[in-house]
Each structure stands twice: as C-alpha cells, then as structure tokens.
Amino acid sequence: MAAICLDTVATPAGSGREVTAMLAGTALPGAVGPAGETTATTLRTVAGATLLTLTCGSDEGPVPLTLDGGAVMPDPRPARTHLFAGLNVLVALRNGETADGAADGPPDWLAFHRRPQKLQAALIVERAPPGPEADRFAEALAVLRPRLDGLPRVLLVGFDHPLGPPGAAPESHPLNVPEAPGKARMTPPAPDRWRAPLGEGHLYEWLPHAWLSGAHAVAALDLCDLLCPAPSGTTVFETARASGALALLGRHVFPWKSRDPARPGFADHGCLQFDRPRGLRRWCVVPAQMPDNRPWRAHRAGEATAEAVFSFASVCAIAAIRPAGSCPGQALRPRSRWPIRSPANSAMPPQFRAPPRHGPPPTKAPTQAPGAWPSSLP
C-alpha cells in the first residue's frame, strides 16, 4: 500500500527549521526519509506508525523528502503552539457527536469542566470527512462559541484522510463496546474508516509538535467523558503537575431511558455495571515535564503513578452508540447493570441538572449513597 503523509509541521531551529512528518499507519517501515539538504534527526514508530523529524537549512518553502522511494516536496505548515501557550487544554476527538453535546444545552461538556477543572482551552480533532457534516459541526460550534465565557480558545482541526483502520466498523456500533450483550447475534455493519475507532494512534504524539508543546497541561478525553470532581477541589491539571503525567481511569455509563431520544443528555445516564469496575483509560500530562522518549498515545502518555489517578464517566448515548431504530444506548444494558442517580447529574452545575430518570428497581443494592459518584470508580 502506498505511503501517505498525513501532515508536515515546522518549528524554527537555529537558522533553519525542524520538520516533523506524520505518516499514515499503513506505510511500511522505511517508507520515508530525508533528501537533498534535509538531515534526519529522529525516526520513531509510535502505535505502529512513523513520525520522522528532520532538520532543514531553509526557513520557509517546500522541504525535499523521499516517500516510497520517490522524491516529494511537501510544504510544511508552521507549528502554532503559541495558540495554547500557558493554558490548561482539553483534547477530544469528534466521531459523530453533535455540537449540542459538545457546547450547548443541558449539560455543556466544555462548561462542565471549565470551572471545576479551571479549563482554559479546547482542541477538538474532527474525524468526519471534509464536507457537509464537518461544516455543520464547525458552524454550530462557532454559533455557540460566545456562550462559553472564560474559555479564550476553542480550536477545531481536521484531516483530508480517514484516521480509522481499514475494514473497521463505525465506532458508534455496539460491536465496539466491550460490555455490549449479544454480540454473537449482531450483523457487522459495512466498514467505514472515517467513523471507525482511531487507527492512527500516533495522532496524539503529533499534537505537541503541531499545537500543544507550550500548553501548561493537556488532558485527553472524549466528548462523552466527564471528569469526576476531586473531593479536595484540586483540578486534574494541578494534580498532573506533581508527576508530569496523570492516569485517568473510567467506565461506561448507560441511560435507562432518554427524555428526548433524538437528543440524549448527560443527565439521562445512571446505569452502571457493578462487576466491571473500570476499563477505560485517558490521561493528563504537562508537556514541559514529558521526556522525549515517552510518546503520547491514545490511552496513555508518560508514566503515571498509581497514587496519581483521576476518575471519569463515559456516557454512551452522547457517544452515539445506538442500534438503529432504538433509543440511544437502550439495547446495550446488560443484566449485570443497576441504576443509580446519574453521576453526571449529581456533579452537574445547577443550571445543567435534570431530574434523574430511573429504570426498573436495581437487581443488586447500590453500595454508595444516592447522588454520589460510584464507589467502584478509582
């Protein structure tokens, strides 16, 4: 398969530039290299894909490379790390979520984290192909942007090449949920690389080169993840500064019934699996404290200690995980789940709360007080 260069980004280095080339994971090892006046600095494989860093004597214009044995001349774009310099940043990938879930309505994903976590900026990577869907999300986010007081920067970036692995089903299909029951009876959907789970895991290692090396701290979440407030009131970004890298551990939360099936909300979710305490991993890092040999990956970055852990809840209807023709998330409730008051609802700012809607009586008694975050979360 032909090698594809997803992006090239340049930063000033002496009288020239340092250029990072990000190749798609389908490229064979050794498919990219320096040419002409360029000199290779590092060639790294992260999550099975290649990142090449090289130096170039010129301070602008195209840079010669070899790609699949042929000469190419990409024109690197300047890194824009100044946009997030000194800020606490959330990074998320949008794969089918609507702007309503990201920045509007009850609740507001950005507003939820803004004050409790002292969030200052967000970088959202658009997974949809260039076209009407991506344009609608960008327009809706721009319309809602003035409502996010105290959040100086929200940036949406995208690619013109799919980031999912070949042959993979859309990420929103229940087949991609480990806890989903009845997988043996499901009919696999048609492959869709644009909406499949992330296959280019080195995307996160590209982020500091292109955008985030100057950030105060960076937390990687999904648009359906809500960070649990710490009892001490310490933010996830402040906690990360103690060690440079912080583990975020979480679990899926499902709805019993949505008030509006066409527009599920965080507060609809109150269904947890008592025999699966955790299984989702995210992270928060301080770029200035990250060594070069500790790459950023989709589910981990650096070395977080067991004592430095934050919890989060990942709500599945917001993530668009829904069988066709059903209430979002409704068919995903295994029998081993029981309802509690929604953790998202109990920690929500008052203006975003909604009365909890429960399903049948629990089959196993809760072990925590109503309204508390699940005690089984770390």
User: How many angstroms separate the Cα of 237 from the Cα of each of 14, 118, 203, 222, 283?
Assistant: 32, 8, 21, 17, 10
pLDDT tens-digit profile, the chain (378 residues): 678 899 999 999 888 999 999 999 878 777 888 888 889 888 888 888 889 899 998 888 999 999 888 889 999 999 999 999 999 999 999 988 877 666 544 347 888 888 889 999 999 999 999 999 999 989 888 888 787 777 889 999 999 999 999 888 888 887 777 766 677 788 888 999 999 999 999 999 999 999 999 999 999 998 888 888 887 888 999 999 888 888 888 877 777 666 666 666 676 766 777 666 567 889 999 999 998 888 898 888 876 554 445 677 776 554 544 333 333 344 444 444 444 444 444 444 444 445 444 444 333 333 333 333 333 333
3-state class of 52 per DSSP?
strand
Nearest-5° Cα angle at 229, 226 to 230 = 140
Tokens standing for residue 192 = 């869709």
DSSP letter at 169?
P
Chain length of the chain: 378
DSSP per residue, 223-277: TTEEEPPPTT---HHHHHHHHSEEEEEEEEEEES--SSTTS--GGGEEEEETT--
Per the CB < 8 A criterion, the answer to whether 267 and 106 are in contact is yes
Say what the pTM is: 0.82
CB-CB neighbours of 233 under 10 Å: 8
Q: Is the dihedral of CA 242, 243, 244, 246 positive or negative?
A: negative
Q: How far apart are alpha carbons 51 and 329 in whole angstroms?
A: 37
Please state the separation of Cα 319 from the chain's center in Å: 11
CB-CB neighbours of 320 under 10 Å: 21
Q: How far apart are alpha carbons 120 and 291 in whole angstroms?
A: 24
